[in-house]
């Protein structure tokens, strides 16, 4: 059975850690860093669960356009 | 052991997925690499993205002129790679009118907040909309003066606390909130008047369609267009961005209901 698999790339320097992508993610893939910050001092979003389905919800709600989304079908 | 194998598979999988042909969503091309000055979670960023996407999709990048306001959106010209003019406080519709009359083939829009549009610029806004200037006004309504530190705006809700009405807005002292979009819908010159929001994926998609429709109307010469975006100001409201979205749904939407108020195309 083919499976949809997605991946995200977060522009960590651009991210302001607003958490909106974490709230929008339907698979709870994203989380903010807890012990790391970017050059502006903000925690940033990252893929922690590896359960991305490439729905792009996180990227659409991101106010700073930090997230690039890729999606593919795996047979 | 099996865990290790899974991890390895996932790493290989990720590299296989991140390829140009699998791209689903990326930063709009018209949005440049300058980091926006907005607070974390601000609705302005989402609206900037939508404007950049719509202009790009319409192929109008070389023919778009934005008018940036005074307020948090004052630096809008730094983020979207199109032509911009900077207006005096509240005077964006007057400047947009001039631009459109001098260059009728250009896509002219203003980008204004509620302090700019509904307070100091009320006269310019109403008369521009009433004249039927073929422009689009994008109106970001977050019910507060964000840039200057969260003071009461004309659109502040009854009972809402701000730094200049710390006990909540009261009718006897402060009067009532202004519904600019409802006023605009009454004017003969307007072609499309709508109120949208950008708090969820579905709302963002609808807002994008509304902005596109307004831009197309203005290019077709049908009249003036107003797209109000009910937004959050997490810093001014003193909430987290996610909580601000919830607060907006609970308190702003009953007073500022989402939907089209006027569309001459649908008649």
Report, as an integer, the average pLDDT of B191-215.
Answer: 96
The confidence score (pLDDT) of residue B105 equals: 96
Report the relative pairing of strands A30-32 and B190-197 from DSSP bridges: unpaired
Per the CB < 8 A criterion, the answer to whether B27 and A63 are in contact is no
d(CA B80, CA B73): 12
d(CA B213, CA B203): 15
**Better pLDDT: B13 or A47:** A47
User: Which chain A residues touch B42 with a CB distance below 8 Å?
Assistant: 63
Contact with chain B for residue A72, Cβ under 8 A? yes
pLDDT in tens, B110-165: 999 999 999 999 999 999 999 999 999 999 999 999 999 999 999 999 999 999 99
Name the residue with tokens 């698999």: A5
Distances (CA, A) of B2 to A32, A48, B5, B6, B50: 28, 19, 5, 6, 44
Q: Which domains does chain B have, with CATH numbers?
A: 40-262 (3.40.50.970)
CA distance B223 to chain A (A): 30
Percentage of chain B lying above the pLDDT 70 cut: 95
* ipTM field: 0.94
- For A52, which residue in chain B has the nearest alpha carbon? B14
The 3-state DSSP class for residue B21 equals helix
Q: What is the DSSP string of B144-170?
A: SBTTTTSB--TTPPTT--BTTBTT---
The confidence score (pLDDT) of residue B16 equals: 85
Establish how many alpha carbons lie within 13 A of residue B63's alpha carbon, considering only the half-sphere containing its beta carbon: 15
- For A50, which residue in chain B has the nearest alpha carbon? B10
- The terminus-to-terminus CA distance of chain A in angstroms comes to 6
DSSP state of B63: T
């Amino acid at each position: 059975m083919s499976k949809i698999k997605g991946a995200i790339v977060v522009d960590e320097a651009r991210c302001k850690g607003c958490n909106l992508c974490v709230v929008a993610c339907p698979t709870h893939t994203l989380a903010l860093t807890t012990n790391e910050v970017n050059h502006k001092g903000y925690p940033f979003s990252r893929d922690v669960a590896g359960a991305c389905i490439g729905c792009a919800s996180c990227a659409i709600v991101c106010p700073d356009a930090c997230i690039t989304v890729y999606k593919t079908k795996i047979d | 052991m099996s865990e290790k194998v899974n991890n390895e598979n996932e790493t290989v999988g990720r590299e296989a997925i991140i390829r140009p042909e699998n791209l689903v969503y990326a930063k709009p091309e018209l949005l440049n690499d300058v980091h926006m000055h907005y607070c974390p979670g601000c609705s302005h960023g989402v609206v900037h993205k939508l404007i950049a996407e719509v202009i790009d999709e319409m192929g109008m990048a070389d023919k778009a002129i934005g008018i940036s306001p005074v307020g948090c959106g004052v630096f809008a010209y730094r983020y979207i790679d199109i032509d911009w003019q900077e207006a005096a406080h509240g005077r964006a519709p007057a400047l947009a009118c001039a631009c459109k009359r001098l260059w009728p083939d250009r896509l002219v829009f203003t980008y204004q907040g509620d302090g700019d549009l509904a307070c100091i610029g009320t006269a310019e806004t109403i008369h521009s909309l009433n004249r039927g200037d073929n422009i689009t006004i994008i109106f970001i309504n977050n019910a507060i003066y964000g840039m200057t530190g969260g003071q009461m705006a004309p659109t502040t809700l009854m009972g809402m606390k701000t730094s200049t009405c710390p006990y909540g807005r009261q009718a006897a002292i402060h009067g009532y909130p202004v519904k600019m979009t409802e006023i605009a819908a009454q004017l003969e010159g307007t072609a499309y008047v709508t109120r949208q929001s950008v708090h969820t994926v579905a709302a963002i998609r609808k807002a994008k369609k509304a902005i596109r429709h307004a831009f197309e109307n203005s290019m077709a010469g049908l009249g003036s267009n107003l797209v109000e975006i009910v937004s959050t100001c997490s810093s001014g409201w003193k909430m987290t961005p996610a909580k601000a979205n919830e607060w907006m749904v609970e308190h702003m939407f009953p007073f500022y209901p989402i939907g089209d108020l006027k569309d001459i195309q649908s008649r």
